[in-house]
Amino acid sequence: MIETEMADASQAGGSKVITADQAAALIQDGVTISAPIMGLAGWPEEIGRAIAKRFEETGHPKDLTLVCGSAMGNHKDKGPHVIGIEGLITKFIGAHTHGSPSIGALIQNNKMLAYCFPQGVVVHMYREIAAKRLGVLSKIGLGTFVDPRVEGGKMNDLTRKAPDLNEVVTFNGEEYLWYKPFPIHVGLIRGTKADERGNISMEKEGAFLEALPVAQAAKNSGGIVIAQVEYVAKAGTLHAKSIQVPGVLVDYVVIAKNPQEFHMQSEGVYYQPAFSGDVVMPLGALPKLPFDERLFILRRACMELQENIVVNLGIGIPDRLATVAGHEGVTDMMTLSTEAGAVGGVPAGWPNFGMTYNPEAFVMHPNMFDWYDGGGIDQTFLGMGEIDKFGNVNVSKFNGRPIGCGGFINITTTSKRVAFCGTFTTGGLKVTAEDGKVKILQEGNHKKFVDRVEQITFSGKYAAQRKKPILYITERAVFRLMDGKVTLTEIAPGIDLEKDILAHMDFKPDISPDLKPMPSEIFHPEWGKLKQHILSKREQKAQA
């Protein structure tokens, strides 16, 4: 797996620094490679491009398995997209493919095997591989498309003919999913600095992600670890507590030649010091949001916030909720968090999703999912692509196009309260409001409330059995999952029930006998009442 000459030099105490081309030459045909990633965070772009270049020039390495635990790439020209070449990658195991169009196309066209598993499961699997345990045993995924009784996480027809990588088992009389382990032969990690011994620090990174467990998994699988960094320091000069991956786990170091292009902190920026905790940015600098349907959804969602709770925000419309909370001056009343590992601060929206302005603390990606999976989230706000009459939600597959689940399944399964946030229809929808009343300027071309979702990313049946509070918040109506049925509980001022809601649903929801209007205050250009609303809940609790 390692070219003998280079390996001998490294082990003999020589420099671990090599070029990206030399790193690509170390990767043999048929091996499994893994990289920590969230968008472009954690991804060693120069090494990835060198692998693609070598394949195009020599046909090697080929038949690789790629394992990634999160959303990967910038949706156009960076990230694992650069190695998404037919024959180079022939198998994928991971959580999300949407950010790498070439890999998505290979999967959709049955040019590679592809398994999609929940983000927390994948990043936890590295630790199980490193410790040579039996894999991940979890309730995460039961009743969704990753359940082998549904689809087994298989993303295309080609994979449906392949063996399952998980199975349902019974332990202590309860059902679990057993996700089976596999070896990692090459760990591709990233940091800010490496010293001559290969110790890796991450000062400028916006997240630690799972670099350490990936390195441990690769080394204990008999493989190698290659790290891309911006700087190399003299041995012994990095502070011991700044080291995130010890040099004993790192075989080779590649110094990025063009870090501003190929060592980006996120999809949107090379370096924002507020993401890495190097400056505290005034929250007044957060962008102003347009007065439209998205803002209406976000304001209504914010009304679910309470004091002293832990909150998670998903990508899409929900990732701007932190901006609304910041403008309303309530972010210090609760703890916002991201699955990437930031605790506190204000999570950023796309194209910087996964980053956080002014974080209070960073933990590693798998540790965050330890907390999340155990019920550490009080309230989550997530997107919704399709919703059906059973309350199921699909965000992972549309018109046969594989996208993946990311952390959606982990978070919806274990969060104490879940609010799905999205427009009522999609494709050309234009909405405004006047005098506190909603006006549909142009209806969307596609319904989102459908008879049956294309893929079950969230199981309404499973949530109903556990009596978990579930909301579906749109710009014109709010629904709740009540007794296993999607139930209309709020309607926006200015909206007609028959014409604007029921006519654009493939099923008729239950209508609450307590149907009430959505608060008109959220449909005015200026709001400024969120803090007062949250404080009123404190008074209600005190009176109760």
Q: Would you list the domain boundaries of the chain?
A: 4-259, 283-543
Banded model confidence at residue 538, pLDDT cuts 50, 70, 90: confident
Question: What percent of the chain has a predicted confidence (pLDDT) above 70?
Answer: 97
Residue 453 has a pLDDT of: 97
Beta bridge partners of 446: 426
Task: Give the lowest-confidence range in 11-20, 70-79, 205-214, 309-318.
Answer: 11-20
Among residues of the chain, what percentage have pLDDT more than 90? Answer: 91
Using 50, 70 and 90 to split pLDDT, how confident is the model at 14? low
Which fold is adopted by the domain 4-259? Glutaconate Coenzyme A-transferase (3.40.1080)
Amino acid at 513: P
> What local confidence, expressed as pLDDT, does residue 257 receive?
97
Evaluate whether 184 touches 223 at the Cβ level (below 8 Å): yes
Q: Which active-site residues does the annotation give?
A: 339
The amino acid that residue 367 corresponds to is N
Contacts of 267 (CB under 8 A, 6+ apart): 39, 40, 73, 74, 75, 78, 99, 350, 351, 352, 353
Q: Is the pLDDT of residue 1 over 60?
A: no
- The residue-averaged pLDDT of 103-122 equals 98
110-146 CB burial, b ≥16 within 10 A, e <16:
ebbbbbbbbbbbbbbbbbbbbeeeebbebebbbbbbb
Predicted confidence at residue 288, as pLDDT, reads 85
Q: How much is the average pLDDT of 2-13? A: 41
Which of 198, 147, 162 minimizes the C-alpha distance to 65? 162
Task: Examine residue 351 and say whether the peptide bond preceding it is cis (omega within 30 degrees of 0).
Answer: yes
pLDDT at 282: 81
How much is the average pLDDT of 392-402? Answer: 94
pLDDT for position 13: 47
Angle at alpha carbon of residue 245, lines to 240 and 246, rounded to 5°: 60
Range with lowest mean pLDDT among 234-248, 318-332, 444-458: 318-332
Class of domain 283-543: alpha beta
Whether the Cβ atoms of residue 136 and residue 129 lie closer than 8 Å to each other: no
Q: Which residues contact 274 (CB under 8 A, 6 or more apart)?
A: 280, 281, 357, 358
**Each residue of 132-144: pLDDT tens digit?**
999 999 999 999 9
Task: Find the angle CA(407)-CA(289)-CA(524) to the nearest 5 degrees.
Answer: 115
Q: How far apart are CA 176 and CA 174, in angstroms?
A: 7
Sorting pLDDT into bands at 50, 70 and 90, what band is 299? Answer: very high
Q: What is the mean pLDDT of residues 65-72?
A: 96
- Once rounded to an integer, what is the mean pLDDT over residues 225-246? 97
Check residues 542 and 180 and name the one with the higher pLDDT: 180
Decide if pLDDT at 407 tops 50.
yes
Domain 4-259 matches domain 283-543 at the CATH topology level: yes
**335 has pLDDT over 70:** yes
Mean of pLDDT values over 490-502 = 98
Q: What is the model's pLDDT at position 543?
A: 75
CB atoms within 10 A of CB 197: 18
What is the pLDDT confidence band of residue 540, given thresholds at 50, 70 and 90?
confident
Rounded CA separation 194/252 (Å)? 10
Give the H or E element holding residue 25. Answer: helix 20-25
Maximum C-alpha span of the chain: 77
| Whole-number average pLDDT of the chain | 94
Condensed to tens digits (0 to 9), the pLDDT of residues 412-458 reads: 999 999 999 999 999 999 999 999 999 999 999 999 999 999 999 99
Q: Kindly tell me the sign of the dihedral angle through the C-alpha atoms of 40, 145, 166, 157.
A: negative
Round to whole Å and give the CA distance between 114 and 119: 15
pLDDT computed for residue 541 by the predictor: 78
What is the band of 115 on the pLDDT scale with cuts at 50, 70, 90?
very high
Q: What is the mean pLDDT of residues 122-150?
A: 97
Give yes or no for residue 2 having a pLDDT over 50.
no
